[in-house]
Chain A
Amino acid sequence: MGPARIRAIIYEVLMKVDEKLVRRIARLARIKVSDSDVQHLEGELSSILGFVDLLSEVDTDNIEPMTSAVDREMFERKDVVTDGGYPDDIVKNAPERDDHYFMVPKVVE
């Protein structure tokens, strides 16, 4: 993706930070927002997205994305069980539990 295209996308986004978009992001993020939240989030998200727009002027053609801060070989761990066997501990902090199960509101009708 070239710089012009990226710039175009970012501007498109900035123009679009409106109530509808804020509500859509909040839904994706699983955060309930009130009407007054939406109002100030519009401004704040625009400000942050406007700030990161500075990146569109950097030429990153033929640049590999950074995947690791320090160059090192990936290694495979031995495929053996090294941990586990304490279900009491696993559910200990659950807000609602029954025996060794986490309890949630009904999911399947």
Chain B
Amino acid sequence: MSELTDLTIAKARKGLAKGDFSAVELCEAHIKAVDAANEALNTFIMTTFEQAVERAAQSDKKIKSGDAGALEGIPLGIKDLFCTTDVQTTAGSHILDKFTPVYESTITKNLFDDGAVMIGKLNLDEFAMGSSNETSYFGNCISPWKRKTDGANLVPGGSSGGSASSVSARLVMGATATDTGGSIRQPAAFTGTVGIKPTYGRCSRWGVVAFASSLDQAGPITRTVEDAAIMLKSMASYDAKDTTSVDLPVPDYEKTLRDGVKGLRVGIPKEYRVDGMSDEIEQLWQKGIDWLKSEGAEIIDVSLPHTKYALPAYYIVAPAEASSNLARYDGVRYGLRVPGDDILSMYENTRAEGFGAEVKRRIMIGTYVLSAGYYDAYYLKAQKVRTLIKRDFDEAYKKVDVLLTPTTPSPAFAPGEKGGDDPVEMYLNDIFTVTVNMAGLPGISVPAGLSSEGTPLGLQLIGKPFDEAGILRAAQTLEDAAGLLPAPERWWV
């Protein structure tokens, strides 16, 4: 039998049901993998091995008695942005020092109700602000992939770097993640994993540490499209505790997964052919077009004229909402407190020591664009541009069912290679993903091949609102055509 950690969720579920192995064995195999890898990859901020084995034992009982949930006994990692009862939750920040929630996020509750087993809490960029997992208070998280050309360690992308890296390295079978500007899809592309950001409102934001509330949306990172379908079904729900949660039934995504793309109209937005895009990204995109075409999809050129304004508008909207959301970290109700002479200096000292450089930068930009006299010129203007971006998609969807683009403009880079002198250089990573958040649409990244450096590259499918089933189906076709990537070499063992 192949190693238990190499199984997909779908196969593990079958193996557990047949009694080929127990949930405890599956759990212990993953714990062993984490122990061997965490020093090198730093994907876990905290492990919860003891609770995991206990839960797995309960799962074994449920499987025996025929009460197994959809994810019964499946070992998962939880991005440390999801509040988990009695388990420290850090958001990758020093300012949440020792914060231990007394409540469970709706998404983790959904997963646990379905029998999932949490192995631990995963590393991320501080407050999910970053594209390389280099802003975490708990240190850089590293990708299991290395650059073939120079053997360099690589970033796993961000902000869900720990999620993507752990899934790719076979430390967990799947992981929760969140995506505000590309934080699920970009790390998925960098690590050869599948990442889906659902439509805004599909998954509850309740109990997820807030970054930019009008953009934040959670989703899964897995190794196959089928596993993404399984996990998303479990994560998604209507939740009265999130006022932006949408009350629509959650379809059985697995059911339609292999219906193919015959007759599917696939749009190719010309504005995504950006200056300086590498030849191999261009070729990858063409390969994706050819794969879908040969399976019977109709390829149609479309235009999304406001694409280039999405990223600058995002860098007004996201920091503005972040500055408002992060105002709550004042050293009074939870987290770090650094004393001062009076209450104002206590606030200032606490926030100076508690927040990292990138978070401070974004809070300051947000504070500025919302300050008296500038609201109209910045925030209101950006929200108007957002309407135009949404309109572009609405127009395109009169002619097509899904859109196909590259996920990122370049393959993974090494820590320290980007954004050192100019933060904007790092922001450009999200150029193909951020439009989707601005319009509230669903998007998925699928591994589509390797770069000349031997590192994974992803293709992105963007869907109509609440058509997660449609993009998962097209993603399955891409995955079938591209073939699954080999597992990264276990250089850390």
- Given the interface pairs A30-B330, A55-B382, the reply to whether A72 lies near B246 with Cβ below 8 Å is yes
A93: chain B residues at CB < 8 Å are 98-100, 102, 333-335
Q: Which of B362-401 contact A (CB under 8 A)?
A: 363-365, 367-368, 371, 374, 376-378, 380-388, 390
User: Are the CB atoms of A25 and B367 closer together than 8 Å?
Assistant: yes
A5, closest chain B residue (CB):
B377
User: Are the CB atoms of A31 and B365 closer together than 8 Å?
Assistant: no
B422: chain A residues at CB < 8 Å are 44, 47
- Given the interface pairs A25-B368, A93-B98, the reply to whether A1 lies near B377 with Cβ below 8 Å is yes
CB of A52 within 8 A of chain B? yes
User: Are the CB atoms of B336 and A95 closer together than 8 Å?
Assistant: yes
Q: Which of A11-52 contact B (CB under 8 A)?
A: 13, 22, 25-26, 28-33, 41, 44-45, 47-49, 51-52
CA distance A64 to B378 in the complex (A): 14
CA distance A32 to B382 in the complex (A): 29
User: Are the CB atoms of B99 and A48 closer together than 8 Å?
Assistant: no
Mark the stretch among B71-79, B157-165, B227-235, B343-351 that contacts chain A.
B343-351
Contact of B387 among A44, A65, A91 (CB under 8 A): A65
User: Are the CB atoms of A65 and B348 closer together than 8 Å?
Assistant: no
B291: chain A residues at CB < 8 Å are none
User: Are the CB atoms of A94 and B333 closer together than 8 Å?
Assistant: yes
User: Are the CB atoms of A95 and B345 closer together than 8 Å?
Assistant: no
B311, closest chain A residue (CB):
A51
Contact of B386 among A6, A33, A44, A66 (CB under 8 A): A66
User: Are the CB atoms of A32 and B349 closer together than 8 Å?
Assistant: yes
Which of B334, B360, B381 has the most C-beta atoms of chain A within 10 angstroms of its own C-beta? B381
A89: chain B residues at CB < 8 Å are 102
Nearest-neighbour CB distance to chain A for B449, whole angstroms, equals 31
CB of B18 within 8 A of chain A? no
Query: How many of chain A's residues touch chain B, expressed as a range?
Result: 35 or more
User: Are the CB atoms of B332 and A29 closer together than 8 Å?
Assistant: no
Contact of A105 among B244, B342, B364, B390 (CB under 8 A): B342
CB of B461 within 8 A of chain A? no
Which of B99, B311, B367, B422 has the most C-beta atoms of chain A within 10 angstroms of its own C-beta? B367
Mark the stretch among B253-261, B312-320, B474-482 that contacts chain A.
B312-320
User: Are the CB atoms of B423 and A48 closer together than 8 Å?
Assistant: yes
User: Are the CB atoms of B383 and A66 closer together than 8 Å?
Assistant: yes
- Given the interface pairs A13-B374, A69-B200, the reply to whether A32 lies near B352 with Cβ below 8 Å is yes
Which of B342, B355, B360 has the most C-beta atoms of chain A within 10 angstroms of its own C-beta? B360
User: Are the CB atoms of B385 and A58 closer together than 8 Å?
Assistant: yes
Nearest-neighbour CB distance to chain A for B376, whole angstroms, equals 5
CA distance A32 to B309 in the complex (A): 33
User: Are the CB atoms of A30 and B381 closer together than 8 Å?
Assistant: no
Interface code A57-70, partner B: CB below 8 Å = 1, 0 otherwise? 01010011111111
CB of B308 within 8 A of chain A? yes
Which of B199, B214, B306, B368 has the most C-beta atoms of chain A within 10 angstroms of its own C-beta? B368
CA distance A22 to B334 in the complex (A): 28
User: Are the CB atoms of A95 and B335 closer together than 8 Å?
Assistant: yes
User: Are the CB atoms of A10 and B335 closer together than 8 Å?
Assistant: no
Q: List 23 A-B contacts (CB under 8 A).
A: A5-B377, A6-B381, A13-B374, A22-B364, A25-B368, A29-B323, A31-B360, A41-B361, A48-B424, A51-B312, A51-B315, A52-B313, A56-B381, A58-B309, A65-B386, A66-B384, A66-B387, A69-B200, A69-B390, A70-B244, A72-B201, A95-B336, A105-B341
